Amino acid sequence: MTGPDSTFAVRPARTSDVPRIQELLEPWVQRRILLGKERVTLYETVQEFVVAEAGDRLVGCGALHVMWEDLGEIRTLIVADDWLHRGVGGAVVDLLEENARALGLSRLFCLTFEVPFFSRRGFAEIGEQVVDPDVYSQLLRSADEGVAEFLDLAHVKPNTLGNTRMLKQL
């Protein structure tokens, strides 16, 4: 998949991309916008990632994490500062949505500071209860921080102040 101006391409991530994903992530961690990830975690989840590449440089990435039979989360969406507003983020989200549909997901969640970006792509802010009580009780058993953020559990609130919980129906 190529970007709007064909100067970058979006593709599934490979294990060889992990060090570059971590390099792309680090400035956003330093700014306290994204949580850091250990390299081992990135390797364990590399199959969830897509990357945007311009030449031999990684200029963006994002991941699709399955949370439930119909629900996934877009996470770790990053665009290099000098590639912002050039279609990279949109192209990454487009491929993640395509992957979500291929998996049979019908809803996508994100936790973001970039509300206008996600709103333009059909995401809407969500309230407290977005899954039925049976699913909620199952999701409570997950150790995944993203699931806790989706459920808006109190123990993750200090990490998410200022972020907006959003959902899209595919």
What does pTM read for this prediction? 0.82
For residue 36, which amino acid is it?
G
Q: What is the dihedral of CA 40, 10, 85, 168, to 10 degrees?
A: -80
> Which is nearest to 1 in space by CA: 12, 13, 11, 16?
11
Q: What is the mean pLDDT of each run of 10 residues along the chain (170 residues)?
A: 75 98 94 88 97 96 93 94 95 98 95 93 80 56 57 45 82
Task: Please give the pLDDT value at position 91.
Answer: 97
